[in-house]
Amino acid sequence: MARSNNLHSVAAIFDTPNKIIKAAEKVRDEGYNKFDVNTPYPLHGMDKAMGLSSSKVGFVTLFCGLFGGSFILLFMWWTLAKNYQLFIGGKPFFALPAFIPITFEITVLIGAVSTFIALIAVFFKLPFNNHPLHDTDYMKTVSVDKYGIYITTEDPKFDKEKIISLFKSLGAVSTDLIYLPKQEKFSMFNLKFVLFLIFVAAGTSGSTYLLLNKLMYITPFDWMEFQEKYTPQETSLFFGDRRSMRTPVDGTVAKGFIPYPYKGIANPTEVLSNPTIPTEDLLKMGKKKYLTFCSPCHGNFAEGDSRLNGQFPNGPTLHSDKIIKYSDGMLYHIITNGQNAMPAYDLQITRHERWAIVDYIRVLQRAKNAKNSDLVEIKKESTTNGQ
């Protein structure tokens, strides 16, 4: 490495560990603060001899580790509990114990990687390819079996002659002057550099093409293309009914729901009570669901006149005395469980929607079988509104 005439530091070589430690203590006591010690192996007590404060590396590890753990925990909570909720074995959306291993691993990973990067780029200021100590006799000696110390020209108390005299008084085997290397500049359009860029670009493009267009289609790397899976509505050759989309196993319970207690019972002696209040919005929803699921057989007004011209079997009228006397729970049970030719609608209509249909059927029955008292109440209400 070519050297300039600019002095970087004054260095000294010592024979024994004790001498280098005493030298470091003396340099520290003299008030120098821009110096460093080089030894072929770590020496116990050297940090104290040099007057070094505690390392800040631990703070980097702590902060980055806590940040990484907090971030991944928040990320998993947001994706799995808020943005894309998944039911897994009936567990809560955010089952904390299941996320602890990942949080721990990411904490360790981010802490370790950030510490490594901080050591290389911040604390050691690497890469430093043109450091003045590189390729010097001083560095070659202290890398094998000697111990060295140097004081840079950046030190406020730097005086070349005084420092050389100090090192000799401490028993230095030799002293040396370290000069800054000459700066070398290279053109961006240097032929070798341009050829290197072309080689890298061609190699990267070629390897990427071979990987994504050739290798990925060769066994066994083609497993992503040919996967053992079914897409929605795809025919299955494994199941006897040739359906790939399977119905839930009997007895499956959805999270947050209690199974319907009278499932499969034709005429239960007890039924559920109607938990809803027939508000305007609820009746609108009940009408919509009734026209969708019930009117094809029972007719638009529940009179048993199918609206699809015989494409569906005509269901019975819902205005008969028998059905009018049914409790709301019984109507809900029939919708849920089915009756005679009518299938169960528990998988197609939610619980709230079924109760809304029951309330709308009551409205149709009340309108079809109005009493004189109803007309009197309507007349009174109209008079009151008119006033």
Relative orientation angle of helices 96-118 and 57-77, to the nearest 10 degrees: 150
| 188 residue type, one letter | M
d(CA 166, CA 375): 118
**Helices 160-169, 17-29: crossing angle, 10 deg rounding:** 140
Q: Using one digit for the tens of pLDDT, what is the confidence trace for 3-19?
A: 667 899 999 999 999 99
Q: What is the mean pLDDT of the chain?
A: 88
CA distances 61 to 100, 125, 330, Å, are: 19, 18, 66
Task: Grade residue 174 by pLDDT with cuts at 50, 70 and 90.
Answer: very high
**What residue spans of 30-171 are helical by DSSP H?**
46-50, 57-77, 96-118, 137-142, 160-169
End-to-end CA distance of the chain: 107
> Rounded to two decimals, what is the model's pTM?
0.45
Q: Using 50, 70 and 90 to split pLDDT, how confident is the model at 345?
A: very high
The share of the chain scoring above pLDDT 70, in percent, equals 94
Lowest-confidence region among 22-26, 128-132, 140-144, 307-311: 307-311
CB-count burial class (<10 Å; 0-12, 13-18, 19+) for 353: buried
pLDDT of residue 375: 65
Please check the confidence at residue 367 and state whether its pLDDT lies above 70.
yes
Structure tokens at 7: 């002095």
Q: Which long-range contacts (CB under 8 A, 24 or more apart) does 198-206 make?
A: none
The pLDDT tens digits of the residues spanning 211-225 come to 988 888 888 888 777
Q: Does the structure show a pLDDT above 60 at 278?
A: yes
Please report the domains of the chain, with CATH numbers, ordered by start residue.
Answer: 1-184 (no CATH), 186-246 (no CATH), 280-382 (1.10.760.10)
